[in-house]
A and B are shown apart, each in its own frame.
Chain A
């Protein structure tokens, strides 16, 4: 086929292209993934019984703010990396801020606690299951975010996959806050981070295979 014929073929019968394709796809992916994670949290783990009381404490909202801020950065990163030539450098550095805040909070909280209470702050009662639960809850968001990326045109596939995994993991963690009874900052700094790291690492591994176009 001659290139001119291909060009005629590509242009033939094309109507207007919907605008804001990246934003719309990402919005659908995040809302779908978040809804599914919330439903799964309620169905599999149940909402913590003291949710109304705890929702009046700033500590609870600090806990929600941690994965929420990571999800917003993840969304920004994924949307950028979904376009040809999109770079992520500044976004990856931005992740350091919420992480640093939580780790500083964790250090202060551990330093201020009596020695025999420290292990409890770090491990709580659910450290065995926390990261696993978050990973499981991130599956629907992972699927929707990768569906969105697949319909766009990332050119840095490993970074785009990692950003998509981070977005899925942090969205799942926001939903998991409905259930998770742990209120120790060191606990979030370790087990939440680990739970989000699993889909992120998986996305980085899978991106170059899955997102090729």
Chain B
């Protein structure tokens, strides 16, 4: 009986999230923000159980997964279960992360243990240790400026186009490529210390 209930609840949750995402994909920003916010809770819980020995990395990974979900949102098909799609992305990003961590640890065994001692105490809820705004500065202008103006300052695409002298489509492409580059930088930052 209880199993049926929780099964129903899961299905309801899936349906609610899916409806939000589908509305988001048609351009409803509020629904999309709501979708990402609710998704973050589930992703955090998913990662917490799998990264229990590295709590300091959980929030970094949550942000990594959210960015990946955003960058892959055009590959979602309405007839596909949303859980499976999100789960595949989270698992992919987690595996990628764990691979680079184990490679790093294999080479800097002792150093890494020291570093972890300090990491444990400063786990602040929902704040990542890695600052995305700093990574943003590494992007080329034509990607960084559109992201800063549209995404951080809330200007429209047209206003940004006028301000930067780029065309509207270049602004959109810049945002799209910039967010993908940001996601790669996160992965690259992990690999850099190989």
Contact = CB atoms under 8 A, between A and B. Distances in A.
Interface stretch (A10-18, A52-60, A107-115, A139-147): A10-18
Interface of B: prevailing SS: helix
A9 B70 CA distance: 11
Contacts of A153: 68, 71-72, 75, 89
Nearest to A15: B27
Interface in A1-39: 1-4, 6-19, 21-22
Contacts of A125: none
B40 A3 contact: yes
A82 B75 contact: yes
Given A83-B75, A153-B72, A4 B126 contact: yes
B183 interface: yes
Contacts of A17: 25-27, 73-74
A132 B87 CA distance: 41
A181 B180 CA distance: 46
A43 B73 CA distance: 41
Contacts of A3: 40, 59, 62-63, 66, 126-128
Interface stretch (B11-19, B48-56, B149-157): B149-157
A84 B36 contact: no
A213 B72 CA distance: 10
A153 B85 CA distance: 11
Contact of B25 (A16, A152, A212): A16
A13 B157 contact: yes
A153 B184 CA distance: 13
B40 A12 contact: no
A19 B74 CA distance: 7
Q: Which of B26, B75, B88 has the most CB of A within 10 A?
A: B75
Nearest to A6: B63
Contact of A18 (B74, B127, B151, B187): B74
For chain B, the bracket of interface size reads 35 or more
A84 B75 contact: yes
A155 interface: yes
A85 B84 contact: yes
Contacts of B187: 212-213
Contacts of A9: 147, 151-152
A4 B126 CA distance: 8
B21 to A, nearest CB: 10
A97 B166 CA distance: 52
Contact of A14 (B29, B86, B96): B29
Contacts of B25: 16-17, 19
A61 B156 CA distance: 55
15 contacts: A2-B127, A6-B67, A7-B33, A11-B32, A12-B151, A12-B152, A13-B156, A16-B26, A21-B74, A83-B77, A152-B74, A153-B75, A153-B89, A212-B184, A213-B187
Given A85-B84, A152-B74, 8 more contacts: A7-B36, A10-B67, A11-B30, A13-B151, A13-B156, A16-B25, A84-B89, A213-B68
